[in-house]
Amino acid sequence: MIRVVRMGMICMALLLMAPAAFAQEAEAPAAAGATAAGTDGFSMNLGPAFGAGLVIIGAGLGIGRIGGQAVEGMSRQPEAAGNIQTAMIISAALIEGATFFALIVCMLFNWPG
């Protein structure tokens, strides 16, 4: 319960600090043909970045769990260590491939245009 409260307090502190960090003055247009706000070549599209972060976290947790469970299985049955290790490497490679695909999709959604 204490961990949940601590995590909630950290999240609230970050949420309260964010507006001050992103506050800035509006810039005056440089020329008469200036474009609308957000279309001047720079836009913060945080959705794909958030998605890429989730992909990396999920892949890290998945591969970590595979490794941990494989080592536990090898310690329980040392005679099956070769088969377990092979299955672990294949599973980790498949997760890594899916991770790269998801990261590429996130980068494509971040592409301007």
Provide the CATH number for the domain around residue 59. 1.20.20.10
Residue at 30 is within a domain? no
Distance CA 112, CA 99 (A): 22
Residue at 34 is within a domain? no
The CA dihedral of 90, 96, 98, 103, to the nearest 10 degrees, is -170
**Which residues form the domain of 74?**
44-108
Distance CA 83, CA 70 (A): 10
Q: What residue has token string 């299985």?
A: 73
pLDDT at position 49 is 80
Residue at 18 is within a domain? no
Each of the 113 residues of the chain gets a pLDDT tens digit; together they read: 888 888 888 878 877 766 665 666 666 655 555 555 555 555 567 788 888 889 899 999 999 999 999 999 999 999 999 999 999 999 999 999 999 998 888 888 776 65
Residue at 35 is within a domain? no
Q: What residue has token string 């329980």?
A: 76
Domain count, the chain: 1
For helices 81-110 and 46-76, give the axis angle rounded to 10 degrees: 180
Residue at 29 is within a domain? no
Residue at 70 is within a domain? yes
Residue at 19 is within a domain? no
